[in-house]
A and B are shown apart, each in its own frame.
Chain A
Amino acid sequence: MLKKSKRRVGVIIDMTPMVDIGFLLLIFYMSTTQFKPPEQKAVTLPMSSSQRDLPKKNFITITVTKLDSIYVDMILMDKRFDPQAGDSVEVPTREYTVTTSDEVGNQIQQMRVKALKQHIDNPFLVLKADKDAEFGTIEKVMKSMQNENLLSFQVVTDLDPAVSRSGT
């Protein structure tokens, strides 16, 4: 016997639960995302073809702005009194000091002492200087670091796509 051809039924799916889930997820992530403590000054980085990764944590940043003001900062745990919790809470904050090009070495050592108290041994040194900063200032900073025997540091740059490391 010939089977009756299946009658095609129109299918209507109600999308409401899916939109609900979508918004719930969104709200969840909006409220639980924690941002890193903001940086002191935005700096225009110079470009280089270097492709090393920056250290992710435990590093001291030396920022030199276009107007040659210098900051030494590091993200450290800070005990704050939280009124809601009723007790002191440890919160990551950016400890920073403003300094001059001759005092940089000194300030870095002081920051290292603070870091050592939080069991961070030998943090990396990262130099973040504006590309239009005067070289003379950077020279003084490097000399100040040399005087304190802080010899190895990383320089932050943006990736320059025009320069290729391979070639001839």
Chain B
Amino acid sequence: MGAVDLGAPKGGQKKKKGLHRPKRRVGVRIDMTPMVDIAFLLLIFYMVSTIFAEPQAMEINLPPKGTEEVVKNVKESELMTLRVDAKDRIFWAMGTDKPDTVSLSRLPQLLIDSLYSMPKMITVVKINKAAHYSRMVDVLDRIEVVEYRIKARQKAQWDRQGGKPAGEDEFSYVFSMAPWTRLDTKMVAQATGEAEAAEEGT
């Protein structure tokens, strides 16, 4: 352990008035072993418990060239259109309804509710060319969240029923992306009441 080294004891000394005796300096030896122990323990702890913040991946599968036309043969009443305008705002519209804004945090619940009330619903995502790419990732991410949650619910239901019923498939979210058109700019402008911005990423 540490040791304090006192000099050889001298005889008792009286403090004379007006005279300050110099303080006796003592040698101090500190044993560093515990400090090194702690340092290594900390090092080993962090070496073992560190998780690096790796970037993650999101898979995207594009439809083969030439299949974009198939989307047109969908009943309007079953079509949910998600639009992202040039200002990165998200609008949703069922069929030919007037578009309404929705926040990213409410989007999953909105999609889940719409899907449960209309299981045949098809989603089309249209993003303005002037919008930011992060919005596309956000919307696609929320769609994946919805798919994940519905699959989990479906699995729980099947487990309760004691297995997967024949003829029922695992849920998969069907959606496609379509190019933004002048019509979309018009609909969004009508919905928000703002004047149409000319040439804004049409």
Contact = CB atoms under 8 A, between A and B. Distances in A.
B191 interface: no
A87 to B, nearest CB: 36
A126 B129 CA distance: 21
Given A135-B127, A165-B148, A50 B61 contact: no
Interface string B116-150: 00000000000111111111111011101100110
Contacts of A48: 56, 58, 137-138, 140-141, 144
A134 B55 contact: no
A52 B149 contact: no
Interface of A is mostly: mixed
B129 A139 contact: yes
A146 B137 contact: no
Interface residues of B, number: 44
B109 A168 contact: yes
Nearest to B108: A167
B6 interface: no
A134 B134 contact: no
B56 A159 contact: yes
Given A136-B201, A142-B62, A146-B64, A157 B137 contact: yes
Given A46-B134, A155-B137, 4 more contacts: A49-B144, A142-B62, A149-B64, A166-B148
